[in-house]
A and B are shown apart, each in its own frame.
Chain A
Amino acid sequence: MIQLAVEIPYWGQSLLRVLGGLVAVLLPAGTIVYLFLFKMMSFMQSRLGPMEAGPYGSLQLVAEVGKWMQKEDLAPDQADHSIFKIAPLVVLTSTFLLVVVVPFGPDAYFTDFAVGVFYGLAVASVSVLGILIAGWASANKYSLLGGLRAAGQLIAYELPMVLATLGVVIQAGSMNLQDIVVAQNTGEIFGFGGLGNPFVITQFLGFVIFMIAVQAELTQPPFDMPIAESELVSGYMTEYSGFRFLIFFIAEFATAGVFAFVASVLFLGGWGVPFDWFGWNNIDQVDDWMNVVGPLIMFTKMLVLTFIIMWVRFSFPRFREDQLQTFAWKVLIPLALANTAVTAIFKVAF
């Protein structure tokens, strides 16, 4: 992880990794819930949101977590109990597995994985299993329908997401997320290196497709057909209460944060600043202070991206189920395929 002057024993490194992972997943989740879900949504509806717990309601989240923890852990009689109880953990685990490949600085990463993009997209789809398990094991028709809808939606939007990422991978010439960051920050736009070359410029279509797919992967409105409360109560989460519901809730917003991390690595230049500014040429010359500034830059970019996700969430009404599927298969996937093809042609031609 972070190279210090002293040698850290293996168990110490592992402990640091676990703590770092917890911070990298839970800190964005808490920030998103307070800043966007509690405050921004309220302000967009011309009200103040929670104001009583702590200054400006900043401890509301602590109160909510306390409330959920003390609630009874209910499971329906007919449910498949052991599997029913595992399901939320499967969903949350996929988030923790995903954050492992995200680099936060030149030396601040959990693992430097050569096929990080491949691995990340693979573990991100594990959450579908958790949701399907939750829907099936609840022994409830609303849960089952919600789980099936979620599975259909998550599989449909996985494709444009993968294809949008493919454009970035082709342009960077690497599947390692660290290499993708370096490629963006050492790149040049027509010989001008002052901005680097964040792929959001060349891959703008890919960026838009990726963000739409992320929105759908997170089942945030307008893609919240799986938990459409007016018809399915709460979809696959209907039968969950207390701590297990809390885990689903955390997973929803933690995944939003982690996907925003991934999107900022793929498209916005990740932890880096354009290397030209400080006269660095490659990753080995990057100064050590980037290990501290890098995570802050990542956090800022994550906030910007989740702001967009939440802004869209609070503005638009929900898609109908058939519109949702049509949009993925007939619009996003062809566009993403075309984007990939054009990127590949440019890559070979220049």
Chain B
Amino acid sequence: MPDKPKVPGLFKGLGITLGILKDTVVDGANTVQYPHEKEAPPIRARGVIALHEENCTACMLCARSCPDWCIYIEGHKQLAPPRRAGGKPRQVNHLDRFDIDYALCMYCGICVEVCPFDALFWSPEYEYSEPKIADLLHDKEKLGEWMETVPEAPDLEAGANKK
């Protein structure tokens, strides 16, 4: 590698800051003026956790694995009509309450990982701050609304076998 002509570090440093000053004036800053314009977060960003209620079996795995104990689940067993005509009525878990307290949540994502039925999803939505801390407790209706913001799962890699 050919040697570049040596510039003393002091002047190099001054040159760098002046260069960035020039770039900011000419091309604009790297930052965005947040309330006026928004940055699109990456689609897999951990913004908020959404609940797909139909998939939930109230198995409590997420609530038990939560390090902060911020998931509250209540359910009861009830009988559902049989799958085939003439069969026995099935016993299913019905979800009465599914709350996530975002005042406690630390966004570790263990609940999403641990859910065996694909009922919990990450959404990149991040604007849900509240003036009152109690309002950060999202019930299952609100968690269900977040499902609309969950992006499509990316395609599997070529050759991956789908179960």
Contact = CB atoms under 8 A, between A and B. Distances in A.
Interface size class of B (residues with CB under 8 A): 10 to 19
Interface stretch (B9-17, B63-71, B81-89, B92-100): B9-17
Contact of A43 (B10, B13, B20): B20
A46 to B, nearest CB: 4
Contact of B21 (A40, A48, A51): A40
Contact of A315 (B14, B30, B31, B33): B14
Interface string A308-325: 000110111000000000
B20 to A, nearest CB: 5
Interface string A44-73: 111110010000000000000000000000
A315 B29 contact: no
Given A46-B29, A48-B33, A315-B16, 9 more contacts: A40-B21, A43-B20, A44-B17, A44-B24, A46-B24, A48-B31, A51-B33, A315-B13, A316-B13
Nearest to B9: A316
Interface of A: 40, 42-48, 51, 311-312, 314-316
Contacts of B54: none
Interface in B1-37: 10, 13-14, 16-18, 20-21, 23-25, 29-31, 33
Contacts of B17: 44, 311, 314-315
A115 B21 CA distance: 41
* Chain A at the B interface: SS class: helix
B11 to A, nearest CB: 10
Nearest to A313: B17
A314 B21 CA distance: 11
Contacts of A51: 33
Contacts of B23: 46
A53 B24 CA distance: 20
Nearest to A312: B14
Interface string B27-65: 001110100000000000000000000000000000000
B6 to A, nearest CB: 18
Given A47-B30, A51-B33, A316 B21 contact: no
